[in-house]
Amino acid sequence: MPAQLREVRRRIASVKSIAQITRAQELIASSRIVRAQQRMRAADPYARELTRAVEAVISRSNSVNHPFTTERPDPRRAAVLILTSDSGFCGAYNANVLREASRLRGLLAERRVEPVNYVVGRKGIGWHRFREIDLADEWAGFSSTPRYEHADEVAAPLIAAFQSEDPAERVDELHLVGTEFVSMLTQRPVVRRLLPLEIEDTAEESPQGPLPQYEFEPAPDLVLDALLPQYVTSRIFFALLEAAASELASRRRAMKAATDNANDLLENLTREANNARQAEITQEISEIVGGANALAAASAGSE
């Protein structure tokens, strides 16, 4: 019985240490997610206005035949940019993104399009290396606090591959697999095609109001040459910010669940320790009473 009580107390100490760690991780994520949301809101106006500028150039031009806006016949290769986290303790965040990326690769294989993988985040890099999946490029170290220069660093090889004239290096499409931040409780994996741009003809007015009237000098194609790389970079940057906020929200939720489970386990272990202690005390009392009775019986027999 004493050995059982020592084992329970050792487990209680271990669970308390785990609960302290998960609680600390929860508080850290809670403090950082506010800043991540603020960065998302700060980046949104620039991304929105840049998108409107691209829409205005395309809609006000009679004929725009730009490589970034033209569907390529018989596409052979597609770049897949996958955004994962550098660290764990974030529940199913990475598993959901990697599952969505695998699904996208399956759809590309059905179209006989070869996927070219680009991965952000140590978890995604490790997942692909373990399965011996080739990576065209990889980045790590900034998943929770991305900056615009990180997005520029990621976008540069993707744009270069899309514009390449070498068939062995050129990609015909660019897809992004990330996580959409809906709320503190809801984050869902999404797949977005960045290139070529999907252009839809519609007579409905934009919900943000009429598009601005631009005068293009010297030509719309040259304006798009300058705008579209910035547009792709801004889309990647905003996706990185969304992924960072989603990662922190997932970590906060996962660590809260872990802390609650640890507290429930502590209650059960404490109850088990009390029962073991009571049984130990009862056994000791029984041994004392039994010994006293034996001594009394021996004394009575000797008399």
The residues assigned a catalytic role are: 90
Instruction: Judge whether 231 and 194 are in contact, CB under 8 Å.
Output: no
Q: Which residues of 215-224 are buried (b: 16+ CB within 10 A; e: fewer)?
A: eeeeebeebb
Q: Is there a cis peptide before residue 73, judged by omega within 30 degrees of 0?
A: no
List Cα–Cα distances, 5 to 14, 191, 286, in angstroms.
Answer: 14, 53, 18
Cβ-defined contacts of 160-164 (< 8 Å, 24+): 161/79, 161/116, 161/136, 162/67, 162/68, 162/79, 162/195, 163/67
**Contacts with 11 (C-beta within 8 Å, 6 or more apart), sequence order:** 269
**Of 10, 13, 16, 8, residue with least CA distance to 276:** 8
Instruction: Give the separation between CA 224 and CA 234, rounded to whole angstroms.
Output: 15
List Cα–Cα distances, 195 to 81, 141, 173, 186, 215, in angstroms.
Answer: 12, 26, 5, 27, 25
Q: Hunting for tokens 């991540």 — which residue is that?
A: 36
Count CB atoms within 10 A of the CB of residue 152: 15
Q: Which residues of 194-205 are buried (b: 16+ CB within 10 A; e: fewer)?
A: bbbbeeeeeeee
User: In angstroms, how far is CA 44 from the centroid of its own chain?
Assistant: 19
